[in-house]
Amino acid sequence: MTQMKMTFKQFESLVVSYGGQSERWPVDLRKAALQFMGENAKAKEIAGQALNIDRFLDAVPVPEAASDAFLERLHRISSEQTNTVPSKSKRQNVIQTLLDLAGLSMPRPATLIPQAASLFVAGLVGIMLGLSTFGIPASAERADAYAYMFGNPSLETELLELD
């Protein structure tokens, strides 16, 4: 893959959005941005300025972990609340079990729309091609010739002369 060349405007936009710490930059831009910063003193300067905001954000303490009492409250949910498992038909259950075994998920009707549309278009094109290849003979004379040929394949040359 070719390395994208970054402009100053792109670099500035990256830094004002994501800050001055390169590990926070989007992965797909990081390499180009680091290269640009290495070659451009002004870029290095604005990344340094952005680090001040990063330091402010780092100053916000990490909230305390959950207390045992709170965890117990959460654990009680499964004994106090009803878990509404949707009922499935026997057929759906069999399909689901097979999909689970194969590590797949049940396709939703909405996800099948593109495949159905593709099949429909392919079918339509097939019918149109079929009609154009085996079109109805243009005249009664040709129709007779087709019927004669299919009855007597050896007379194909006669038909070619008609065409």
Partner 1 sequence: MQDKKGPYTSAHTDLGLNAEPDHKLVARIAKGDRAAFAVMVDRHTNRYLALAHRVLGRRDEAEDAVQEAFVKFWKNAHRYERGKARFTTWFYRIVVNQCLDKKRQRRLLTLPEYYDAVDEGPGPDEAYREKQLAEYVNDALKQLPERQRLAIILCYHEGLTNKEAADLLEVNIKALESLLTRGRRGLETSLGEMGKTLLDMMDQS
Residues that bind partner 1 (CB under 8 A): 13, 16-19, 24, 26-27, 50, 52-57, 59-66, 70-79, 81-86, 100, 105, 108
CB of 112 to partner 1, least distance (A): 13
CB of 108 to partner 1, least distance (A): 7
Looking at beta carbons only, is 42 or 73 nearer to partner 1? 73
Q: Contact, 137 vs 146, CB < 8 A?
A: yes
Q: Where are the alpha helices (DSSP H) in 65-155?
A: 68-80, 90-102, 113-133, 140-151
Q: Which contiguous run of DSSP H or E holds residue 55?
A: helix 41-58
Q: Contact, 45 vs 20, CB < 8 A?
A: no
The sign of the CA dihedral 131, 132, 134, 138 is positive
Looking at beta carbons only, is 44 or 55 nearer to partner 1? 55
CB of 28 to partner 1, least distance (A): 10
Looking at beta carbons only, is 65 or 136 nearer to partner 1? 65
Q: Tell how many helices (H) and how many strands (E) occur in the chain.
A: 8, 0
Looking at beta carbons only, is 52 or 118 nearer to partner 1? 52
CB of 152 to partner 1, least distance (A): 59
